[in-house]
Amino acid sequence: MAKVLVLNGPNLNMLGAREPEIYGNRTLSDIHERMKNRAKEARIRIDFFQSNHEGILIDAIQKANHVYDFIIFNAAAFTHYSIAIRDAVAAIDVPVIEVHISNIHQREEFRHTSVIAPVALGQICGLGEESYMAALEAVIYKLKQ
């Protein structure tokens, strides 16, 4: 059975309450529940992890190597400046799909650059919670190849 890890960075535990005009009203648990249901249909094991701490996310990325088949990763603010997280993603053999709820390219200038995108399999952004679902569908497609 294929295994997918969904990693979420800082402040994503506040979804549903934090800036709903940008991030919507759904909680991270709501998104995970949808993903869990779709993964079950596709016969994929899916695990979820969220942390507000850079080092803990790096540890999770490193521990995922040779354990998971894919990582779906919303690094949140770390996307734009964490070379340490970028290096952790580059150091593992697990393909990573970067996701964002908002379109980072339409927001403040500092959000336009992702240091993770160059070492990720791909990036999906701007679709709201559907960014996560699109990433999961991409994983399902890749696993069938």
The answer to whether 114 and 88 are in contact (CB under 8 A) is: no
- What's the sign of the alpha-carbon dihedral 3, 75, 10, 60? positive
Concerning whether 100 is annotated as a catalytic residue, the answer is yes
Catalytic residue chosen out of the listed positions 23, 32, 68, 132: 23
Q: How far apart are CA 49 and CA 46, in angstroms?
A: 10
Q: Where are the alpha helices (DSSP H) in the chain?
A: 20-23, 28-41, 54-64, 83-91, 130-144
Concerning whether 23 is annotated as a catalytic residue, the answer is yes
Catalytic residue chosen out of the listed positions 66, 100, 105, 112: 100
Phi, psi of 100 (to 5 degrees): -145, 140
Q: How far apart are CA 93 and CA 103, in angstroms?
A: 27
Give the residue numbers marked as catalytic.
23, 100
